[in-house]
Amino acid sequence: MELTGKVAVVSGGGSGIGRATALALIERGASVVVADIDIAGAEETVRMAASRGGKAAARRCDVTRSEDLAAAFTAATAEFGRFDVAFNNAGIGGEDIFSDEAGDWQRIVNIDLTAVIDATRIAVREMRRGGKPGVIINTASMGGLLPMPDSPVYAAAKAGVVNFSRSLGYLAADSNIRVNAICPSFVDTPLVRRSGEERMQEVGRLVGGILEPEDIAAGVIELIEDDSRFGSVMRVTIRGGRDFVREVRPF
């Protein structure tokens, strides 16, 4: 998909990977709805976009609320006249499942998996209504492809995103909508920094280094622009750069 003149909705666009991707989309001529529960962060991304000559709008969005997701997608058409791309990126991490008395693990599933399914469902509906080609990119993780003993619920949620996205490859032929997933390794984001500098450095040593949000944004742009990719899963790692896991095509 050629991005000039297109309109994208980026969840979690107020910081980290979402912000980097929103700005990368702007640089390629797209307009962006920046959706985030942190409206101040979303508005800052909009200001950054404006400073680069781009068009963006902020929208407060709790991705666990279907009505917020629907409003973010319809805002694309209301603000910019069309809706072409959804980057379902908002997510959380962190868990100690065996001492979790507050049910925090359920929140991880709700945000990292259930909300992605719901956002994809609503985005497909809106794209079909518009009658134009569409692209949906879902943020998974290398933890969705490999075991994570210290974060098994996070790993399970991200594995769900991977296979959910793979399973929707048929939409390319059915509705001219391409759904793909991206699996970053360890990325320097505000979410990750909350674990502390020592933990960041420890994990960085284990995986060979720490990626920047812009590294993931470049992968998202590639998945959007490459019309041959549907039901695909891109890995982004320090050692391997950007590559793809085994392709699964629709029956």
Instruction: Give the other-Cβ count within 10 Å of 173's Cβ.
Output: 11
| pLDDT above 90 for 248 | no
Q: For residue 179, what is the domain's CATH number?
A: 3.40.50.720
Q: Answer for the pair 185, 158: CB distance below 8 angstroms, yes or no.
A: no
45-62 residue pLDDT tens: 999 999 999 999 999 999
Is residue 245, in this structure, part of any structural domain at all?
no
Is residue 222, in this structure, part of any structural domain at all?
yes
177-227 residue pLDDT tens: 999 999 999 898 877 766 677 766 776 777 778 899 999 999 999 999 999
Q: Which domain holds residue 214?
A: 7-239
- Which pLDDT belongs to residue 58? 98
- Which pLDDT belongs to residue 209? 81
170 part of the active site: no
Q: What average pLDDT does this structure show over 5-32?
A: 98
Is residue 102, in this structure, part of any structural domain at all?
yes
Is residue 251, in this structure, part of any structural domain at all?
no
Tell me the C-alpha distance between 48 and 158, whole Å. 30
Strand, helix or coil for residue 74: helix
Report how many domains make up the chain: 1
Q: Any residues with CB less than 8 A from the CB of 174 and at least 6 apart, and which?
A: none
pLDDT level of residue 247 (50, 70, 90 thresholds): low
Is residue 1, in this structure, part of any structural domain at all?
no
> Which is catalytic among the residues 73, 83, 154, 230?
154
Q: Answer for the pair 235, 142: CB distance below 8 angstroms, yes or no.
A: yes
Is residue 29, in this structure, part of any structural domain at all?
yes
Q: What average pLDDT does this structure show over 66-89?
A: 98
The model's pTM: 0.94
Is residue 250, in this structure, part of any structural domain at all?
no
113-169 residue pLDDT tens: 999 999 999 999 999 999 999 999 999 999 999 999 989 999 999 999 999 999 999
Measured at the CA of 128, the angle between CA 126 and CA 131, to 5 degrees, comes to 115
Is residue 103, in this structure, part of any structural domain at all?
yes
Tell me the C-alpha distance between 62 and 238, whole Å. 31
pLDDT level of residue 99 (50, 70, 90 thresholds): confident
Q: What average pLDDT does this structure show over 67-91?
A: 97
